[in-house]
Amino acid sequence: MRFKDKVVWITGASSGIGEALTYEFAKHKAKLIISSNQQTELERVQQKCKEMEVECFIQFLDMTEVEKMKTIADQLIQKFGSIDVLVNNAGISQRSLVEETPLDVDRKIMEIDYFGTVALTKAVLPHMIQNKFGYIAATSSISGKFGFPLRSAYSAAKHAIHGFFETLRAEVYDYNIKVLIAFPGRIKTNISLNALTKEGKVHGKMDQGQDTGISAEKCARKYVNAIRKDKKEVLIGSKELLMVYIHKFFPGLFYKLARKIKPT
């Protein structure tokens, strides 16, 4: 797939992987729509895109306001003529034990990471079906492949993302709509800083594993390349990706290793 002059909508674009994806698509001269609930940061990203001489439009988006998704999508389609690529990247992580996490925190994570993503996808999908063309990507996590301490709601949401988009891929094949699920591992972003605690507050700490992860820029290159090559899934990271294969082929060893992880 070539991205020049294609309309690419990226959520969670104000920082981290989403910001890096924006610049990577900009290198391919795509027409960009960037969204998040951080207006000032979006303006900073937009300015950098302008310096790259790429069209970049800001669309403020709160992933919990699912009732607004269709109206926003319809307005953007009217403005740009199409949405060719939708990258569902917005999300929030978690740092709390199951036993101490109140249900409202579980619900908030699920609303942002799963239902918001599903609502936006459903808002754009009829347009892609009508055009018989489109590409939909969803950012999951290796926590969407297996459970991990302190990530119960986050892992659950990412497992749900996996099931939804695998099903979608099968259903839209005849409409020439492609679907990719990306599974990042440890990427050096602020995701752990912004993760929710048991009180529903911002964690505010950088995980050691996150701090030593691969750069968001390297992640974005692999992500966009996977879209270009029409891959169904892509694992992105470093040595931590070995756990995916241990979980699949040596489950007994995986559970033994998982029990040794100390919650911090």
**Strand bridging mode 7-11 / 85-88:** parallel
Cα separation, 148 vs 19, in Å, equals 26
Is 154 one of the catalytic residues? yes
Q: Which residues contact 13 (CB under 8 A, 6 or more apart)?
A: 19, 21, 22, 34, 35, 36, 42, 45, 89
Q: How many CB atoms lie within 10 A of CB 86?
A: 26
**Strand bridging mode 177-184 / 134-139:** parallel
What residues does 159 pair with on adjacent strands?
none
Report CA 136 to chain centroid distance, whole Å.
11
154, 173, 223, 245: the catalytic one is 154
Q: Between vectors from CA 228 to CA 48 and to CA 72, what angle results, nearest 5°? A: 55
- Structural tokens at position 165: 């988009």
Cα separation, 83 vs 73, in Å, equals 9
- Structural tokens at position 32: 């960009």
What residues are annotated to the active site?
A: 154
